[in-house]
A = this chain, B = another copy of it.
């Protein structure tokens, strides 16, 4: 459809270039709010590991849940940014950049039980399907939210992949003492089609190779 419109442009001269620019601006604006980082088609829903890794790799933010002792032990969800690796080279483990000025990091230092929940909806690939419809995928990674030693190689890696996906993080206030946390995954809940959650072990998830994603970049 877009190619066809470009043919029309040839016969309608300069004003159409203006429209083309408008189209591009609209498209860019559209993409920027979706949180989409790569333009990859989604995997087959039957390939649970591929789908789960795609969902984590494509998203840049989710809701990180901890236990809030100060709220009677209630589960407390918080909107956070994360990164599991450079685009196309994700490792499947979500890293976070958190400050204990925020309840989530403070909660995790008391009780590590945690989960990260991500929706396919903001990627923009669910179309008009409702966010709760099982064909609009969602994943919950449950495990332990662990503070990473700031001087370790793991922290260095985490900072590089976090800053690659979230450039403004590098400039966040030093006096807020942002630190690297990671989710040590113990259970995976993935729904990406009808028929209930997919059977997917942590081992299958972590050892899935990114070759398909890498090849298509």
Return A46 CB to nearest CB of chain B, in Å. 20
What's the number of copies of this chain in the assembled complex? 2
B113 touches A169 (CB 8 A): no
Interface residues of A toward B: which range? 35 or more
Return A39 CB to nearest CB of chain B, in Å. 14
With contact pairs A61-B132, A71-B187, A166-B130 given, residues A76 and B33 touching in the complex (Cβ less than 8 Å): no
For window 7-21 of chain A, which residues contact chain B by CB distance below 8 Å?
Answer: 8-9, 11-13, 15-16, 18-19
A132 touches B72 (CB 8 A): no
Q: Which residue of B lies closest to A64 (CB)?
A: B77
Q: Map CB proximity to B onto A79-100 as digits: 1 under 8 Å, 0 otherwise.
A: 1110000000000000001000
Segment at the interface with B among A118-126, A146-154, A209-217: A118-126
Q: Which residues of B contact A124 (CB under 8 A)?
A: 33
Q: Which residue of B lies closest to A96 (CB)?
A: B132
Q: Is A133 an interface residue (CB 8 A)?
A: yes
Q: Which residues of B contact A143 (CB under 8 A)?
A: 74
Q: Is A164 an interface residue (CB 8 A)?
A: no
Q: Is A110 an interface residue (CB 8 A)?
A: no
A66 touches B61 (CB 8 A): no
A114 touches B30 (CB 8 A): no
A33 touches B113 (CB 8 A): no
Q: Which residues of B contact A201 (CB under 8 A)?
A: none
Q: Which residues of B contact A4 (CB under 8 A)?
A: 18
A30 touches B30 (CB 8 A): yes
Measured CA separation A74–B115 after assembly (Å) = 7
Q: Which residues of B contact A30 (CB under 8 A)?
A: 26, 29-30
| 7 A-B pairs with the lowest CB-CB distances in the bound complex, closest first | A75-B75, A77-B117, A8-B15, A30-B30, A63-B63, A61-B131, A65-B75
